């Protein structure tokens, strides 16, 4: 299979800390000589996609999530919906994206956010970068919605957790990295309202995106990620390693190293 001769697109799902597996997938792609021409991401996938599109190293990508307070809960919101004030992350993001522009990226990037006022998904691929990234990653009720183009926006995964649409039109070969998994559960794990709500939400996201995931030319879904909490920053390195190992196995099966 001559993947290296094709134009490649990369789709990165949302999934909180589990999204560190996306960085492992990118590391494996680099080792196998694969480079994406177009990237699309939702929520944490938008953040990883932006770092990749900016040509940041894998080390820098991991440092971004360890150093910025995304999973540290430092910025409590006052008079805003949400526990954390998303606006206060802008300065931390400027360190990694000093030009704050889609046009300054080295690869074409699409991120998806949810316009809460209009009730629709919005694909963004031009203009100011940081506010678009924060909008895509503003997971309710943890992060407050962010104003973008005059309207309140929140997490892209609310309406589109696997934004393959802009990628499939532009490339010959689509690689998908999905970290929003649905594993079998025992009855004992559904014994309160929070567990039930989480399970139902996960099933809805899974069902909505399943067809797009199956239509990828290569899909990487590390099942071991189910043991990592989506907001547990202690899982950053583990999720990265799981993503890398899974991607290496997948790529080894179809490509010589």
Out of 43, 136, 144, 177, the active site residue is 43
For residue range 16-49, list pLDDT tens digits in order: 899 999 999 999 999 999 999 999 999 999 999 9
For residue range 57-109, list pLDDT tens digits in order: 999 999 999 887 664 444 333 344 444 566 667 888 999 999 999 999 999 99
Is 155 one of the catalytic residues?
yes
For residue range 155-169, list pLDDT tens digits in order: 999 999 999 999 999
Highest mean predicted confidence (pLDDT) among 46-55, 83-92, 194-203, 221-230 = 46-55
b/e 206-241 (16+ beta carbons within 10 angstroms → b): beebeebbeebbbbbbbebbeebebeebebbebbbb
CA distance 85 to 82: 7
Q: Is the pLDDT of residue 186 over 80?
A: no
Q: What is the pLDDT of residue 227?
A: 78
Out of 42, 136, 144, 155, the active site residue is 155
pLDDT band for position 152 (cuts 50, 70, 90) = very high
Q: What is the pLDDT of residue 109?
A: 98
For residue range 106-146, list pLDDT tens digits in order: 999 999 999 999 999 999 999 999 999 999 998 877 778 88
- In eight-state DSSP terms, residue 162 is S
Map residue 230 onto helix, strand or coil. coil
Backbone dihedral region for residue 152 (phi beyond 0: left; psi -120 to 50: alpha; all else: beta): beta
User: What pairs with residue 175 in β-bridges?
Assistant: 10, 218
Is 91 one of the catalytic residues?
no
Tell me if the pTM is above 0.85.
yes
């Amino acid at each position: 299979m001559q993947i290296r001769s094709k134009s490649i697109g990369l789709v990165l799902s949302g999934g909180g800390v589990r999204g560190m597996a996306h960085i492992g997938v990118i590391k494996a792609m680099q080792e196998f000589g694969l480079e994406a021409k177009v990237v699309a991401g939702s929520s944490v996938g938008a953040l990883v996609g932006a770092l990749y599109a900016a040509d940041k190293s894998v080390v820098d990508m991991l440092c971004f999530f360890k150093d910025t307070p995304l999973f540290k809960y430092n910025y409590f919101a006052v008079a805003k919906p949400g526990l954390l004030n998303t606006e206060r992350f802008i300065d931390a993001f400027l360190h990694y994206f000093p030009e704050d522009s889609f046009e300054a990226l080295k690869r074409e990037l699409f991120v998806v956010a949810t316009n809460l006022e209009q009730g629709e998904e919005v694909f963004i691929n031009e203009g100011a970068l940081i506010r678009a990234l924060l909008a895509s990653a503003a997971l309710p009720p943890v992060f407050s919605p962010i104003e973008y183009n005059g309207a309140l926006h929140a997490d892209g995964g609310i309406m589109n957790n696997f934004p393959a649409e802009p990628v499939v039109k532009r490339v010959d070969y689509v690689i998908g990295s999905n970290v929003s998994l649905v594993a079998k559960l025992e009855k004992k794990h559904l014994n309160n309202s929070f567990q039930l709500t989480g399970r139902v939400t996960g099933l809805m996201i899974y069902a909505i995106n399943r067809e797009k995931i199956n239509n990828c030319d290569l899909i990487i879904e590390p099942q071991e990620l189910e043991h990592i909490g989506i907001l547990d920053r202690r899982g950053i390195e583990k999720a990265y390693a799981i993503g890398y190992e899974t991607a290496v196995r997948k790529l080894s099966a179809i490509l010589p190293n």
